[in-house]
Amino acid sequence: MAKQKGMVVIDTENCKGCGLCIANCPTNTLGFSENFNANGYHYSEMKQDTCIACQSCALVCPDVVITVYRLKKEKTV
């Protein structure tokens, strides 16, 4: 398992389930959820801890529901 370097937080209620973030994720981190949101869309969610915080998903998301976080680098003494 690759070391997790980032994390995405998805505003699931506004996600329309278009799947563009999933198609553009280079590490296959994202996938469709089995659950529905209030509008009946299968929203996308993180399926595994391989996010590298590349922001590809956020750049192509038409509904701007993705917030990307990057792991802070540990300070070396």
Partner 1 sequence: MKTQIDPNKYEKVFEKTDGLKNVKTHYCPGCGHGVVHRITMEIVKELDIQHKTIGIAPVGCSVFAYYYMNVDMQQAAHGRACAVATGIKRMLPDHYVFTYQGDGDLAAIGTAETIHACSRGENITIIFINNAIYGMTGGQMAPTTILGQKSSTSPEGRNPQRDGMPINMSEIVALLPGTVYVERVAVNKPGRVRKAKKAILKGFKAQALKKGTSFIEVVSNCNTNWKMTPVEANKWIDDVLLKQYPLGVFKDETGL
**Binder to partner 1 among 9, 28, 36, 48 (CB under 8 A)?**
9
Closer of 18 and 47 to partner 1 (Cβ): 18
Query: Which candidate, 25, 6, 10, 29, places its Cα nearest to that of 67?
Result: 10
Phi first, then psi, for residue 39 (nearest 5°) are -90, 0
**Binder to partner 1 among 27, 48, 58, 76 (CB under 8 A)?**
58
Residue 3 touches partner 1, criterion: CB under 8 A? no
Interface mask (CB under 8 A) for partner 1, residues 38-57, using x and -?
---x-----------xxxx-
